[in-house]
Structure 1
């Protein structure tokens, strides 16, 4: 597997046809929904909040909701859920949306994998976000870290400290959270195919969503096909190549500057970002681009008024090189590290 950067830190899938749906909504810029295996609708374009500073994310979420976003992707470890919650409260109070209009995702962090810690952690996120339930709750990573300590536990030599909790225990606790109505759908993030298979085999609920890094340099075709065969919806993070990652090296590939992407964007009079997002939608994959800039937030939402040609798709597919930007190599000795597997 190629590492492109040094990292620091179904029911059946049913998607509204993009072509007809988008033509009907050219002016409103509404986006299609994926129907999860739980029966709930998940908007296929959401706002990501990873790396969004607490002082900036409130305005970003308010801007996103104002321009039509109804899907917000969060996580406890991002450290900004209270500010996201403040924005949600503001937009509900001013009449822009109702709670039921929004699809809110949060994620369980690695230091809360034991059964007795899962529900309290979810309740912390609910309190932070100011809501009674989240629409989707994910296990953030399959690896458990040492519990009842800091978020990123290390020993005095800088080695990461792990727990021996099996993610099946974690999954069964999340199933209980769903049963109690604290989350409507549940899923996993950064799990490989074999780990998903274990959950399906040993758990009682098939994951509704799998969230993974996915972009043309790592197009995840085999994992997407597998998930579709199981009725699982896929969400792509880093779909724009995480251009703001602080660990990027000068020689690292820059996805939005790739000549093939730029040429397709120019042909359609769109931005490279819009082409990359549209590419995922046409594959039936949900996208959660992150930005705190109002103009980019709005631009990233304008992906439903054009279509890529078969030639465009083929050219973008040709960029796949199994190149992962977020590899977490410093914890590759964890027994549940997901990226040793082929996919």
Structure 2
């Protein structure tokens, strides 16, 4: 599988996204993915399944399917641990759950600081500060992102992580980050798919030599069950995608993932089905024409499915936009 340079390492362009994989299915999904050739796993404390991810990694290593050094494992710092005095402990908790000595990449999950929640009280903490309150709501903490980033940099110095990066940042936050970062971000992870092509943000990242990983690269599929997308918003049904799929004799999903790879982003599609694991990683023996790339990019409608400015108010009783 092809890779890209990320900091001082190399990361496979296709990874297994672990968001929304049921904990009971996670270990098996990880083993199946590694057996199918995956070496890139994208996790996060907020997903609530890192212990199971760790079991899958351990099982795969014990079975001789891979070595630890063959894997690229990403995790993410949750919002409630932004205060510098909690960053290392949060990272160590993910390491303990995953059964690892280091992470290849650790990302700031959202540019949103929330009040600290002790591990003993609730883990993962989620978005509510007091979920049992009569009227629970999302709360914010006064922690500058610059303070959080300096604590992230210390994780590299401590040997807990190899590389650090950011998720869900906009161009303005990236410009600001680059004025104070002693260690520039090694990765930007963002929602991106043909309905949300993010061209300006990709160009901003490229101007700072920051590689990009696209989450939710197939668009609405992960969001319909959460009532964050409708059934008629599938990019896989678009005529230009279907036409390209017919020409290259691949599935619409493979065409959309190839579009993402061909425009320079890594992808982390989610699946727990073994046949889809193979399909989602079989992207390197065909290519899309320039016209097909342009037509798929032309589907952009700036449709963001994972938008705190929408779901925080709907689910957590507080309006909190981070994108204009």
TM-score scaled to structure 1, two decimals?
Answer: 0.86
1:1-343 residue pairs with structure 2 within 5 A?
31-36=1-6, 38-148=7-117, 150=122, 151=125, 152-154=127-129, 156-245=134-223, 246=225, 247-248=227-228, 250=230, 252-328=232-308, 329-331=310-312, 337-340=321-324
Structure with larger RCO (C-alpha < 8 A, sep 6+) = 1
TM-score scaled to structure 2, two decimals?
Answer: 0.91
Residues in 2 aligned to 1:252 and 1:266: alpha-carbon distance in whole angstroms: 21
- Offset of 1:211 from its aligned partner? 0.2
Distance 1:250 1:289, change over 3 A: closer
Aligned residues: 309
Cα deviation digits, residues 181-213 of structure 1 (max 9, x gap): 111010000011111122111121110000000
Gap regions ≥5 residues in structure 1: 1-30
- Offset of 1:335 from its aligned partner? 10
Distance 1:322 1:249, change over 3 A: closer
Moved more, 246-255 or 43-52: 246-255
Residues in 2 aligned to 1:59 and 1:134: alpha-carbon distance in whole angstroms: 21
Residues in 2 aligned to 1:335 and 1:174: alpha-carbon distance in whole angstroms: 27
Gap regions ≥5 residues in structure 2: none
- Offset of 1:327 from its aligned partner? 1.0
Residues in 2 aligned to 1:277 and 1:243: alpha-carbon distance in whole angstroms: 13
